[in-house]
Structure 1
Amino acid sequence: MSKRGVVTDYDGDEIYPGDKVVYATRRGNGVRMADALVLKVFTRKLGGVVIPFLKIQPTGSESGFFKRKSPRVETIALIHVRLLEQSAVDID
């Protein structure tokens, strides 16, 4: 997050609505990797620190043996998120 107003992943790639990302998610007692589309990028101030968040829609492509039961929209912190593809979908 080197520039003001730009949210980046841990490698420095900028993330915008419509991008496809991969993130770590929990299922039961384990962790799996899942792909998702970014719907909204925003920040929240928690304990005096500004933390970036993403509102995402999972694509259904993820690691593990069992499929996700519901493709609900989720809000996640930007920690452990990696950009896969820029502008995968147009989000208005």
Structure 2
Amino acid sequence: MGKRGVVTDYAGNELYPGDLIAYSARNGNRVRMADAVILPDGVSTRLVSVPDVGKVLVPVVHVQPTGVESGFAKRRTGASQWITAEHVRLVKAGFVDSE
């Protein structure tokens, strides 16, 4: 069992600001893998209403893409994004601190 109040990736690794992660990002009809750094305000949960279930807390992460990603079509914008932690994988903990 995980601890309360901790957002984790799909393998159970805890996510904190400054960590380098890999996540799946949509690009039109395609999905690509992208690397990003979690921003300082970036680990939270959102209350979402699910039909036939009710309200559910969904873990979200505020990230800044690094520009390293799969696919041949370049990303149009480098803007920060809020993503769900459902398809996130920790690559390196404390990435920003170690640079």
Q: Structures share a fold, TM > 0.5?
A: yes
Q: Which runs of 4+ in 1 moved over 2 A?
A: none
Question: Share of identical aligned residues, percent?
Answer: 53
Q: TM-score normalised to the size of structure 1?
A: 0.92
Q: CA RMSD in A?
A: 1.1
The one-character-per-residue Cα deviations of 1:61-85 (angstroms, maximum 9, x if unpaired) are 0000122121110111111100000
TM-fit CA distance, 1:88: 0.6
Counterpart of 1:46 in structure 2 is 48
Greater share of helix residues, 1 or 2?
Answer: 2
Counterpart of 1:74 in structure 2 is 81
Q: For the residues of structure 2 that align with 1:30 and 1:42, how far apart are their CA atoms? A: 27
Structure 1: which 5+ runs fail to align? Answer: none
Bigger mean CA deviation after superposition, 43-52 or 33-42: 43-52
Structure 2: which 5+ runs fail to align? Answer: 50-54
- The structure whose Rg is larger is 2
Does the residue aligned with 1:89 lie in a helix, a strand or coil? Answer: helix
Matched length: 90
Does the residue aligned with 2:44 lie in a helix, a strand or coil? Answer: strand
